[in-house]
Structure 1
């Protein structure tokens, strides 16, 4: 690629005007060691320049810089990598290293930054750096070496097929209340994450080794079959091992039980202090395993699996569920806080199904079946005796 073409791609990259095809071209150009080294050297600029340059009018500075770069096509064509490196450094100074990092995730060696907005889906990298995920856009995902390992598109991340990793490096996706997310891992396993959930997983699995992930909250897993590499999900102190199957796992920290519903295949259960063997408890399709966190005891029962997997299609289904448990599910799904001062209502059980209804419409439906009053103020809801 000619220098001018590379330079224009970088300008578009920094100004959020780059297309998906152009981003791929830029990624290809960065395979050139000189180009990659130039960017890496700029990233090493002290992170505190963000704070120093906050005194400047960033929009004005950005437009002025772009104008200077583009004012003379002949000049642009004659720029050396060194000269363009100075422009890149200026862009970093004007925009701030945080701007460069957060919006494009090119390199993972910047300072750790806490995410204050808990309403956003976040991706935590192996070094502790946290990135917010924009569901309205797409972006490449890179490892700490600067290699492209996946692509984020809307509310999902698709990782490239792996198997050549020499070490396990973990990322963690966290999904706030009111949202859902999908991960396609490097082995092809598909994980749907429900509201208020997080999954810690290897960026790339090692061939012949156990594929181990850690779940907090609720997820539906369609596990890629690999008899040489068992897939293990750890939730609290319970391990669920599979070779290839489809199942739903609910393990919210505030819930007393961990529930596993098997749709297809077979899974086995064992605690952290033990090992998986032929005597490990097994679950068969169409059944649910309920593991008590306090007693460390497991029970099995036959269920309608659709009742436990409908959330992936945006449905909220309650089957003979006490209202106090319904409240918690509504809080997760709608990202609201519900204060129920009508204690008599807590143990009343309901059968109901919702999909496109608002939280007000849902509560209105309950109030028609059982007398109660509710008030909605923003994201706070109060339920009282009529």
Structure 2
């Protein structure tokens, strides 16, 4: 698979055919999934060096390769190879010094944090602005968010970012919020819609929704949406392969590229789902509350079934719930939730199904439960977990 096509996939600029090609390639082997995660992590890191926005994929790809090459030549922003290999949306920065934008609104100048005594791993939430610059969101910060022209477009307080509907904008401009593994973040869009982003998630959205245009956002990962009702402006969540159209409702979407399916669970209201590359309205699938729609990426079929919605929204409270889930998929969820890498040296467990609920438990508590109840042995060393044979 050409790297340029993968970058287009990550930028949400790939054609329907290219999207299908990339996802088929990802799901064809574990080796391809690992390669995709590595490229994705490298791409996230490379955006830290971008200072000028470009809508041309070719230029973006050249900048991406340039940034990675410079990193290899000894820039202070180092890639921790082990984490890069597996952390799909995790930007890792190493070195004695790293640069970020001070989130204090009263001291807007850039601030350099230096600590040469030891390397620091920065698992940071980032906000990519309309001009391509990337700012670090401090979870305990308090700040105003301004666009490249100095207009105040929103405010950030702690783990919540809220956009203003009064921003002086007459055309669509986009920001992208990226949340790494092990974290969650709240976002209030300019129309008042509330989005909670799960770990390993990126959402691209308009700074301000424009009158007479659909409210469209672009999701990679998982998020819970509580959409403000507006019949004149439908709200559309775009994932790679599926469009979800709503007027005003509450629902959860899980669209991690490395997963075999894209899942939508409706809590309240109604939504319509259709394949991204199909414009025929008659082919859309209507979802009602208490149901799960699952898009199988292999055969492109959408299956609808009854669902206990609380299972799919428990992550917002820090809970981890499994219902008849295979061990290999449990590993994925634990890696995202706890920001760890898990190596399974007992492959016979991969297809075993488990059911369990953990309410705000530590990783060690979760694994100990598996050990006590199922005899699964493990070791933990820093952020590396090994499931022993």
Q: Same fold (TM over 0.5)?
A: yes
Contact kept in structure 2, 1:137 and 1:153, CA below 8 Å = yes
3-state SS in 2 of match to 1:167: coil
Q: By how many angstroms is 1:118 displaced?
A: 5.2
Which structure: larger Rg?
1
CA distance in 1, matches of 2:105, 2:129: 10
**Do structure 1's residue 198 and structure 2's residue 172 form an aligned pair?**
no
Q: Tell me what 1:362 maps to.
A: 366
Alignment partner of 2:293 out of 289, 292, 295: 289
Count of aligned pairs between the two proteins: 282
- Number of the residue aligned with 2:338: 334
CA distance in 2, matches of 1:203, 1:189: 12
Structure 2 counterpart of 1:154, from 149, 158, 177: 158
1:162 and 1:187 in contact (8 A); partners too: no
Take 1:162 and 1:297, find their aligned partners in 2: how far apart are those partners? 42
Give 5+ residue unaligned stretches, structure 2.
Answer: 1-98, 111-119
Asked if the contact 2:152–2:167 (Cα under 8 Å) also holds between the matched residues in 1, the reply is no
Q: Which residue of 1 aligns with 2:141?
A: 137
- Equivalent residue, structure 2, for 1:345: 349
Q: Distance in 1 between matches of 2:281 and 2:169?
A: 27
Q: Distance in 1 between matches of 2:106 and 2:178?
A: 20
- Aligned counterpart, 1:378: 382
CA shift digits 1:161-212 (9 cap, x unpaired):
2587321100000000100001000001000000111100000000121000
Give the counterpart of 1:230 among 231, 234, 256. 234
TM-score w.r.t. the length of structure 1 is 0.69
Report 1:74-113 matches (<5 A).
101-104=101-104
| Partner residue of 1:176 out of 170, 174, 180 | 180
**Would the aligned equivalents of 2:124 and 2:180 in 1 still touch at CA under 8 Å?**
yes
Residue 141 of structure 1 aligns to a residue whose secondary structure is strand
How much has 1:271 moved relative to structure 2?
2.3
Compare relative contact order (CA 8 Å, sep 6+) and give the higher one, 1 or 2: 2
Question: What is aligned with 1:243?
Answer: 247
- Superposed CA deviations along residues 245-304 of structure 1, whole A, max 9, x for unmatched, are 000000001001000000001111122223363652110110000001222110000010
- 8 Å CA contact retained: 1:251, 1:259: yes
Moved more, 169-178 or 267-276: 267-276
Find the residue that maps to 1:365 and give its secondary structure: helix
- Tell me if the contact between 2:201 and 2:222 (Cα under 8 Å) persists in the aligned partners: yes
Whole-Å separation in 2 of the counterparts to 1:162 and 1:117: 37
Aligned counterpart in structure 2 of residue 305 of structure 1, from 298, 302, 309: 309
Match of 1:218 among 218, 222, 233: 222
Structure 1 residues 247 and 234: alpha-carbon distance in aligned structure 2, compared to 1, 3 A threshold = same
More helix by share: 1
Alpha-carbon distance change, 163 to 133 in structure 1, aligned in 2, over 3 angstroms: closer
Distance 2:366 2:281 in 1: 46
Q: 1:204 to 1:316 in 2, by over 3 A?
A: same
The farther-off stretch of 157-166 and 371-380 is 157-166
Partner of 1:261: 265
SS in 1 for 2:281: coil
RMSD value over aligned CA atoms? 2.2
Residues 79-102 of structure 1 show CA distances to partners (whole Å, capped at 9, x for unaligned) of xxxxxxxxxxxxxxxxxxx67x44
Does the 8 Å contact 1:238/1:271 carry over to 2? yes
Q: Is the 8 A contact 1:242 1:268 kept in 2?
A: yes
Say whether the 8 Å CA contact 1:287–1:303 is kept in structure 2: yes
TM-score scaled by structure 2? Answer: 0.69
SS at 1:123's partner residue? strand
Determine the C-alpha separation between the residues in 1 that align with 2:105 and 2:384.
35
Contact 2:103/2:138, CA 8 A, preserved across alignment: no
| 1:51 alignment partner in structure 2 | none
The corresponding residue for 1:83 is none
| 1:207 alignment partner, one of 205, 211, 232 | 211
Distance of 1:126 and 1:294 partners within structure 2: 34
Residue 106 of structure 1: CA displacement? 9.1
Alignment partners' CA distance in 1, 2:303 and 2:107: 47
Q: What are the superposed Cα offsets for residues 34-81 of structure 1, whole Å, 9 maximum, x if unpaired?
A: xxxxxxxxxxxxxxxxxxxxxxxxxxxxxxxxxxxxxxxxxxxxxxxx
Equivalent residue of 1:309, what SS? helix
